[in-house]
Amino acid sequence: MEALKIEPYLQTPEIDFDPSTGKMLLSGKSYPADAIEFYQPIIEWSKKYVKKATIETVLTCEIEYLNSASQKQLVELIMAFKPLYDKAKKFRVVWKFEEGDDDILSVGELVEHELQIPFSYEEVTF
């Protein structure tokens, strides 16, 4: 399976998903008008990856800004990886947020609570 790489653009984040290491990175701003158009191919790629994955998978979300449409899509993306955690506890999320940005932190906490997947939190500077 090939890696999934998308360069960041004005309103969309960088995507760097590496199936050989299990390290998945989503980084930057996300506020496209059509979030489904951006996220659906990433979600589809992730579903295919989950069927074959055997190593521990870590999804790092380094989020500078997230609009409501992206929040919904990000939940779907994390849900795509959830079978890895449900079957063998081989999935976790690292949720990085800008220092002082309690709103993005609380989105992470809400998603963690709702999906019952372990999150670890890190403050970063953008």
Partner 1 sequence: MQLIEKRKQLLNLPFNKDQIEYWGPISNEFSDAFLGMGRLFLQQFLEKAHVRLVKGVFSSFVEMVQNIAEYNQKEFEDNIPQSFVHLMLGDNAIIITTINKIKEKDVPHLTQLLTNLFAMSKEELKKAHREALLDGKSLGLIMIKKLIDSELDWEINKDEKGNNWFSLELKINYGSTKN
Residues at the contact surface with partner 1, assessed by CB under 8 A: 10-11, 31-34, 65, 67-69, 71-72, 75, 98-104, 107, 110-111, 113-114
For residue 65, the minimal CB distance to partner 1 (Å) is: 6
Distances (CA, A) of 29 to 2, 5, 65, 70: 24, 16, 5, 10
- Radius of gyration for the chain, computed over Cα atoms and rounded to the nearest angstrom: 13
For residue 53, the minimal CB distance to partner 1 (Å) is: 24
Return all residues near 93 (Cβ < 8 A) that are at least 6 apart. Answer: 58, 59, 60, 61, 78, 108, 112, 117, 118, 119, 120
The residue (of 16 and 101) whose beta carbon lies closer to partner 1 is: 101
For residue 66, the minimal CB distance to partner 1 (Å) is: 8
For residue 80, the minimal CB distance to partner 1 (Å) is: 14
The residue (of 46 and 70) whose beta carbon lies closer to partner 1 is: 70
C-alpha 90: how far from chain center: 15
The residue (of 3 and 6) whose beta carbon lies closer to partner 1 is: 6
The residue (of 4 and 104) whose beta carbon lies closer to partner 1 is: 104
C-alpha 43: how far from chain center: 10
